[in-house]
């Protein structure tokens, strides 16, 4: 059997010149694969004639403790380590591969599961209660789930810088690729080229070819082209582990280390829960004559914020009405404002001296207001806001 302690998850950015990293502080990872097969029947026959095989649908869900870094956000949006701000528009076209390296209870490496070409369809950040650890969850969608076993059990990633010239070659060694059992003569899963800051996936047979350990980039290469290759082998890279523990960052940040503001400077007191939910209405395009997705995009982004509190003052309602601090004598929900901002600042601990990461949602409008009155309990009140814009940053001044 394989215990969660020996399931080592990594994420590989596809459309940037970036190395894979471990998915740190992961609490849960689950997948659902629908094979999309249709029965074919015909008049005059009892039973199935055949099956039509369509492109599978893969959904991967990840739940992670908030630990105050942009690393995983950068991977999902295919951004480099120097990027300090991720906007929600950055999720439109990037892809990642997610792999799980599996070792059984006896210490024997069993194999690797690969979810290839995933795109982000949504995420959430949850502040469940005043004593909780902040959690962030992600939903990724794709078309491929692959299990690598036996002679192909390790997923290998290699990066090389090639020289300018015609039909440049790269030697893939330590370990050398093992052929795909389903495709005779096919050794590589993916090849990308990064040139002048732009990364593209190259097409097998036309833009690259591989025989054993020799990868050839067809056509003319430019100086400092970066070639990255994914393949499988029966052993891993000598002296390297597939997963390296992160003992630098905190294990998880609790909700007492958070400051939440509405309309930039209005601190929200007595909050009992808060949730940020972002969904992307993806339009990932297929085409006749091709088994793969050929274009990726997002039709619409929807952001939703839910705030729950113990009722002591009507501060939130006053902010929504645009009369905060005015001792206004009437709050009419029909007069609530829109175009609001919500700012969440997360610190390393509850001293709130070291800023780690922040979330800003813009152009919000109130869409729901509720109250709860239960016998022998305190009155609660909540509000729901919706919008379509936001960002994540590790620079406090950008919030």
Q: Hunting for tokens 């009722």 — which residue is that?
A: 311
Q: Which of 65-74, 264-273, 327-336 has the lowest mean pLDDT?
A: 327-336
Q: How far apart are CA 152 and CA 112, in angstroms?
A: 9
- For residue range 308-362, what is the model confidence (pLDDT) as tens digits? 887 667 778 888 887 777 778 887 778 788 889 999 999 999 999 999 999 999 9
In this model, does residue 378 exceed pLDDT 80?
A: no
Q: How much is the pTM?
A: 0.92
Q: Give the residue-averaged pLDDT of 304-311.
A: 85
pLDDT at residue number 204 = 93
pLDDT at residue number 380 = 74
Q: Give the residue-averaged pLDDT of 217-224.
A: 92
Give the helix/strand (H/E) hosting 320: helix 315-321
- For residue range 31-57, what is the model confidence (pLDDT) as tens digits? 999 988 889 999 999 999 998 888 889
pLDDT at residue number 219 = 92
| Greater model confidence, 57 or 288 | 57
In this model, does residue 26 exceed pLDDT 80?
A: yes
Overall fold of domain 255-398: Pnp Oxidase; Chain A (2.30.110)
Percent of the chain whose pLDDT exceeds 90: 73
Residues 6+ apart with CB under 8 A from 41: 47, 48, 49
pLDDT at residue number 311 = 66
Q: Indicate the pLDDT class of residue 222, thresholds 50, 70 and 90.
A: very high
Residues 6+ apart with CB under 8 A from 159: 17, 19, 226, 227, 228
Q: Which of 24-38, 110-124, 245-259, 291-305 has the lowest mean pLDDT?
A: 291-305
Give the helix/strand (H/E) hosting 327: none
Q: How far apart are CA 162 and CA 229, in angstroms?
A: 13
| Neighbour tally for 183: CB within 10 Å | 9
In this model, does residue 379 exceed pLDDT 70?
A: no
pLDDT at residue number 312 = 67
Q: How far apart are CA 184 and CA 271, in angstroms?
A: 60
pLDDT at residue number 88 = 97
pLDDT at residue number 85 = 98
Mean pLDDT, the chain, rounded, equals 91
| Greater model confidence, 79 or 266 | 79
Domain ranges of the chain: 155-233, 255-398
Q: How far apart are CA 337 and CA 266, in angstroms?
A: 15
């Amino acid at each position: 059997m394989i215990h969660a302690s020996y399931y080592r998850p990594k994420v590989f950015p596809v459309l940037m010149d970036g190395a894979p990293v471990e998915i740190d502080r992961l609490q849960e990872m689950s997948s659902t694969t629908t094979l999309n097969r249709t029965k074919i029947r015909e008049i005059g026959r009892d039973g199935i004639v055949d099956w039509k095989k369509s492109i599978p649908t893969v959904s991967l869900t990840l739940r992670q403790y908030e630990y105050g870094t942009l690393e995983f956000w950068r991977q999902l949006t295919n951004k480099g380590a120097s990027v300090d701000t991720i906007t929600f528009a950055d999720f439109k076209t990037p892809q990642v591969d997610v792999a799980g390296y599996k070792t059984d209870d006896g210490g024997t490496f069993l194999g690797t599961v690969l979810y290839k070409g995933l795109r982000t369809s949504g995420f959430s950040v949850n502040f469940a209660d005043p004593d909780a650890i902040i959690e962030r969850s992600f939903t990724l969608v794709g078309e491929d789930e692959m299990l690598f076993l036996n002679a192909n059990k390790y997923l290998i990633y290699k990066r090389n810088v090639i020289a300018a010239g015609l039909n440049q070659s790269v030697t893939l060694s330590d370990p050398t690729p093992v052929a795909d059992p389903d495709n005779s003569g096919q050794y590589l899963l993916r090849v990308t080229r990064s040139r002048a800051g732009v990364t593209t996936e190259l097409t097998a047979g036309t833009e690259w070819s591989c025989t054993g350990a020799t990868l050839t980039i067809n056509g003319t290469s430019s100086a400092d082209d970066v070639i990255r290759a994914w393949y499988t082998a029966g052993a891993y890279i000598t002296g390297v582990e597939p997963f390296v523990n992160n003992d630098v960052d905190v294990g998880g940040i609790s909700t007492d280390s958070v400051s939440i503001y509405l309309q930039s400077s209005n601190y929200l007191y007595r909050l009992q829960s808060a949730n940020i939910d972002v969904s992307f209405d993806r339009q990932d395009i297929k085409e006749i004559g091709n088994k793969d997705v050929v274009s990726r995009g997002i039709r619409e982004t929807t952001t939703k914020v839910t705030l729950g509190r113990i009722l002591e003052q009507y501060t939130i309602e006053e902010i929504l009405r645009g009369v905060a601090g005015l001792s206004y004598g009437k709050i009419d929900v029909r007069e609530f404002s829109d175009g609001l901002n919500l700012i969440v600042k997360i610190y390393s601990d509850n001293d709130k001296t070291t800023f780690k990461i922040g979330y800003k949602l813009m152009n919000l409008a109130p869409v729901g207001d509720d109250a709860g009155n239960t016998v022998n309990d305190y009155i609660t009140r909540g509000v729901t806001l919706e919008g379509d814009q936001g960002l994540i940053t590790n620079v406090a001044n950008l919030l």
